[in-house]
A and B are shown apart, each in its own frame.
Chain A
């Protein structure tokens, strides 16, 4: 006997993600799922962002890695609302990881939550975690072909970051090719070029967060984004 289903394969994950989203929005937390390959600078960018926004804004971080507490230790210098998730063999975070991690931080006292996904340009893209936005990160040292080779992250991300711009003169990276690949896949893509280490482009990134946050929060959250000078600069 055949039973018709026609449902998203990741439906069960999506149901948990919807609960996460409901909880986070009710608490007025704007949530960013940061995706990118290993070593592209996700942790460095979150560190640089925390330096800018804390303590004016209450920021939490859930960070996923196969092993070690090292990223959480780095973030903990800036905020005590940090949870390290070790996935063991898992190459991405799923909604249930985030749901468990959310019980270990004070969601009701956060304005902004970063979820740093496991370093991977492929697997994390399809898994909804309950975030408001997915941000995809590439880097100049990773090669100019990475956007073309990973169309899903390009198509699904609300924002694309090109990190390590300070190293551009040192590496064979065709910036025009990289950008044209992105716009071919997603003509309306938003791209910010930055360097988490030198700080170049960080203003644009902070501004983008500030633009997004009230937009999402106005759907039902208690929006106080403009109360923070960094996020209210515009």
Chain B
């Protein structure tokens, strides 16, 4: 299940960006459909990781946004963002080309600048 190792990768990268003394609260990630990430599996993996690696009362949350496909018709030039990969364009052409869908970015993190007592033991804080 690659969601587990990806959850770890997200956490490791997020921790790099936590300012000294701050506590990680939310991690925002966007993923394209080519990556084959199941959002529900991703959340389970994240929660499993938090159970294992965070003793904070409120471990950081993962907000995952799944992006649509990005396609372009090679005949009429139309571009659109369908939820499912289409077999053909509205013009009738079957030459529908992928122009995006492999995005996988850690967009931003939310942090609390003043750690509270209940999270001070968290391994997710750089100060603790």
- Contact string against A for B residues 1-42, beta-carbon threshold 8 Å, 1 for contact and 0 otherwise: 110111001101110011100100000010100111000000
In the bound assembly, the distance between CA atoms of A17 and B108 in angstroms comes to 24
Question: Chain A binding site: helix, strand, loop or mixed by DSSP?
Answer: mixed
How many A residues touch B, CB cutoff 8 Å?
31
Task: Please tell me if the beta carbons of A5 and B106 are within 8 angstroms of each other in the complex.
Answer: yes
Q: Which residues of A contact B108 (CB under 8 A)?
A: 2-6
Contact of B110 among A1, A91, A150 (CB under 8 A): A1
Task: Please tell me if the beta carbons of B110 and A2 are within 8 angstroms of each other in the complex.
Answer: yes
Nearest A-chain residue to B32, judged by Cβ? A152
Question: Nearest-CB distance from B83 to chain A (Å)?
Answer: 14
In the bound assembly, the distance between CA atoms of A219 and B109 in angstroms comes to 38
Interface locus among A8-16, A135-143, A205-213: A8-16
Q: Which residues of A contact B96 (CB under 8 A)?
A: 184
In the bound assembly, the distance between CA atoms of A110 and B97 in angstroms comes to 39
12 contacts between A and B (CB under 8 A): A2-B108, A2-B109, A2-B111, A3-B109, A5-B17, A9-B105, A12-B13, A92-B2, A152-B35, A185-B98, A186-B98, A187-B97
A44 within 8 A of B: no
B55 within 8 A of A: no
Nearest A-chain residue to B33, judged by Cβ? A151
- Contact string against A for B residues 67-110, beta-carbon threshold 8 Å, 1 for contact and 0 otherwise: 00000001000000000010100000011111001101111111
Task: Please tell me if the beta carbons of A1 and B22 are within 8 angstroms of each other in the complex.
Answer: yes
